[in-house]
Amino acid sequence: MAKLTQQELELISAYIDDLSNGEINKPFTSKEGFCLSAKKIIDELDNLRKEMILSRSHSIEGYSRVQQEIANVTHDLKTPLAVITGAVECLEDGIDDKNYVEVIKNKTAEMNNIVLRIISSSRSFVEKSKNEKKVMDCRDLFPAVLEKYRYLIEGKKIKYIVKKAPKVLVSVAENEIISVIDNLLTNATNYTQSGKIKVGFIKNRKWLTLFVKDTGKGISKEDIPHVFDRFYSGDKARQEGGTGIGLNYVKCVIEEHGGFVQVNSKEGNGSTFSIMLPRAETKNHRVFNEDKRKCLEASLRLFLFPFFLPYDLGRAIYYGVRDAKNKINYVIDGKE
């Protein structure tokens, strides 16, 4: 892997400062001879710059919000940059008592991940989702995304339990819900060292609940009220290259779907994250239910005819007398 030079690091740092200060009119470009890693970071920063310009053209308020968010996470980018700078200086001084190339590689990947997540998050907050919702059966939506984590989780010697998805319809933007599940399972996998991870479902007449329960380190009582806040990362162990936007993204997506999120956790005893989605009814299902109601009513009238007869006769007499009175009033008032 090519080493990042001091010139490359200084230019990347300058571009980050420009983003933080809202100076986004000038394109971010790499210079001739820059290594592939430096070019990739600069390209992603330029994509973020374009997103900020787009948000400003749509809404001054949205632009200000994104600018503030970028300022809030500048330190997340500068921390790995400082480590990379230190490693480069050690290599330039001929110090090779550690694997500084590996350090640089890991921190560069961390920066790439941070930038990509900021871009993704900025899009979700500035623009409305372009994913159209569609009615899906849970048995078609959840099993595939849940199963793809089996190899990773069981590879860590953690028991992975996935309950069968129920036959329930939900109206969802499929890609967004898959991202939500990815986020919850990634967190559970990262913060569980032993024991098990369980995914299950609860349904009632109005809601479908999906929960992810782990036996990880749990969350402190002080942090629980803030775990879904944007950029909040009270637990230092949960900052491994992250920006604190993952669970906030989960909350926003689920609320956009008309649902809500919940967490139950105790430090040292694992966590359970739940997402609740409203059940959907297609037009065919509504028609079917209405037909079923009418059929039931007709059956009751057939078998309970003697009891319904006085009721129906009374209604007929009442409405007949009322209509006759109205007719007489119209004639008297000269309306006919």
- Exposure pattern of 21-38 as b/e (b: 16+ CB <10 Å)? ebebeeebebeeebeebb
Whether residue 255 contacts residue 176, with contact meaning beta carbons closer than 8 Å, is answered with no
Residues 6+ apart with CB under 8 A from 319: none
Sorted by sequence, the CB contacts under 8 Å of residue 70 that are 6+ apart come out as: 19, 20, 48, 52, 118, 122
In order along its 336 residues, the chain shows pLDDT tens digits of: 456 788 888 888 888 878 777 777 788 888 888 888 888 888 888 888 777 776 555 554 455 555 555 665 665 676 777 777 777 777 777 777 777 777 777 777 777 666 666 666 555 554 544 457 889 999 999 999 999 889 889 988 999 999 999 999 999 988 889 989 988 998 899 889 999 999 999 999 899 999 999 999 899 888 888 888 765 555 543 444 344 457 888 998 899 899 999 999 988 889 999 999 999 865 455 444 556 666 666 666 565 556 555 666 666 666 666 665 555 554 454 444
CA-CA distance, 16 to 266, in Å (whole number)? 38
**Domain presence at residue 53:** yes
Report pTM. Answer: 0.50
The reply to whether 178 and 207 lie within a common domain is yes
Specify whether 202 is located in the same domain as 326: no
Are 170 and 75 in a shared domain?
no
Gyration radius from the chain CA atoms: 30
Same domain, residue pair 271 and 149:
yes
Is the separation of the CB atoms in 213 and 200 below 8 Å?
yes
Domain boundary among 126, 143, 161: 126
Contact 159, 150 (CB under 8 A): no
Number of domains in the chain: 3
| Parallel, antiparallel or unpaired: strands 196-203 and 169-172 | unpaired
Structure tokens at 218: 């749990």
What is the rounded distance in angstroms from the CA atom of residue 335 to the CA atom of residue 194?
A: 86
